[in-house]
Copies of this chain bind each other. A is one copy, B any other.
Amino acid sequence: MLLTGAEIDQVAGLLSLREREPFLLCATAVTLAALAENVMFGVLAADLVRRKAIVPATPLVFPGGLQAQLFTVPGKVPLYLEGAEAESATETATNVGVELYAGGARMVYIPGAAGVTAAMKARMKEADVVFFDGTLFRDDEMITTGTGAKTGRRMGHIPIGGEGGSLAALEGISGRRIYVHINNTNPVLLVGSPERAHVERNGWEIAEDGMEIAL
């Protein structure tokens, strides 16, 4: 199990894996620390679920020849660990992306990103398939739909559309491109919406439950 952060979306599923099944839990040290500080994750018994701290940019080799590398991505600490004062998005081991490669194929998975750095873009250019943070289409979407008080950027998510959005920032990436981690306010979820058409015209797909990718 490889985690990209300790945000609830990334870690709550671990609570469904507490049936004394042995596995290896890999994440950066700061993410493992967030889990260790939360008593509920103690149900992943340490004698069965070994924790392994991963330093970003260190190559990992898994059984079967799968290789991986974590890399830092601009983002926020998990909402539930924020102090009273919101900190601005930074590039630390709190929020990472994953690159996976095997048999000459390469994929990049970035479910949360407050921005796109040159290093991230270079990595994505080399990939056969890219999964990228598609939380919101518009930065103020949760405010205008009355579902929240925060902008996407305040939550550590670059929007898809508009100036400075991910569609524009990721122009020139030629592999298969798929938006993931899509919020329920995001109109790209609606087949036939202008936003979905816009995204598809730009060569992006919208992830679906049960999607399988063969490389």
Contact = CB atoms under 8 A, between A and B. Distances in A.
Interface of A: 8, 12, 15-16, 18-20, 37-40, 42-43, 79-81, 147-149, 184
A63 to B, nearest CB: 23
Copies in the complex: 2
Contact of A43 (B42, B80, B149): B80
A184 to B, nearest CB: 7
Q: Which of A18, A39, A81 has the most CB of B within 10 A?
A: A39
23 contacts: A8-B15, A8-B18, A8-B40, A8-B43, A12-B12, A12-B15, A12-B16, A19-B147, A19-B184, A20-B147, A20-B148, A20-B149, A37-B39, A38-B38, A38-B39, A38-B40, A39-B80, A39-B81, A40-B40, A40-B80, A42-B80, A43-B79, A43-B80
A80 B15 CA distance: 11
A37 B38 CA distance: 10
A19 B135 CA distance: 13
Contacts of A18: 8
A38 B12 CA distance: 13
A23 to B, nearest CB: 15
A20 B20 CA distance: 34
A148 B20 CA distance: 7
A40 B12 CA distance: 10
A32 B42 CA distance: 20
Contacts of A42: 80
Contacts of A16: 12
A81 B149 CA distance: 34
A184 B17 CA distance: 13
